[in-house]
Amino acid sequence: MVLKNNLKVVILGLTVILTIISIYLALIYTPSHETMGDIQRIFYFHVSSAWVSYLAFGVTFVAGLIYLKSRDLKWDTIAFSSAEIGIIFCTLGIITGSLWAKPVWDVFWRWEDIKLFITLVLWLVFIAYLALRANAKSRTSKANLSAVFGIIGFICIPLSFGANRIWQQYHPTILASQEGSLQASMAFALIVAVFAFTFLYIYLLLVKVDVERMKETIDEIKQQAGG
Amino acid sequence: MSDLIYLYITYTIIWAGVFLYIIKLHMAQRRLKKEIEMLREILNGKKS
């Protein structure tokens, strides 16, 4: 318990330090983009939010598979906790992307862009995951439904990640294309932001799992008291 | 609206979203901890 609390403090400390550095790098250290200007500074945390949502849904997928194999409910708790964090960051990714799009594309959203569409589907699948979970009656059916939905939702991730690389529509492909390649300072700022958000995700996951375990403990105590 | 306003709104949304979620989790953690302690006290009182 003490070790776990110490781990949380260390991860929180790293998150705060990396976040402060990444904000400095994104807003002050990096130059303005040649064509987009200052609006490009959104991209450091937009990409980081998208990365954390993929990571979180990936953890949900893996934890769901382990649950289906082992039937150990602790994996369901991890899967659910990660899915909730994934939804938060997916929402942030969609909002920040739309706020970047307005000055650059002159619209908040392009329905014809497959990457945007698949990302929206991914978000909706995990919203449905939460809704299904909230309405499932027993703890086991909750866990079974969640695991299946988590696996279905995960299918959208490679599609969402690869859509702009395959179809090359409006959404920029910054990390892979020659024309969109980043200057060294911008790439460095992006890497630091991604690390900051990854540590933030780990911290949030530890706290959220704790909260879910406490809820389970309360249910157990109530059952004991009733029995 | 200028680019800087969009930038300002975006950063505000990101950090407000993250902080609100952290606060929500910590408040839930504190509330549940108290509830567990209270339930354990009740349960121990019943046993003795």
Give per-residue pLDDT as tens, A54-99. 999 999 999 999 999 999 999 999 999 999 999 999 999 999 999 9
**C-alpha torsion sign, points A82, A84, A87, A93:** negative
What ipTM was reported for this prediction? Answer: 0.90
The answer to whether B17 contacts A218, with C-beta atoms less than 8 Å apart, is: no
Contacts of A39 in chain B (CB under 8 A): 3, 6-7
Inter-chain CB proximity B29 and A211 less than 8 Å = yes
Chain centroid to Cα A9, Å, comes to: 21
CB contacts < 8 A, A to B, total: 73
Q: Tell me the per-residue pLDDT of A136-184, one tens digit each, with 9 for 90 and over.
A: 888 899 999 999 989 989 988 888 877 777 766 667 766 555 555 678 8
Residue with the two structure tokens 């002050």: A28
What domains sit in chain A, N to C, each tagged with a CATH number? 2-214 (1.20.120)
Structural domain for B40, as ranges: 1-48
Q: What is the count of structural domains for chain B? A: 1
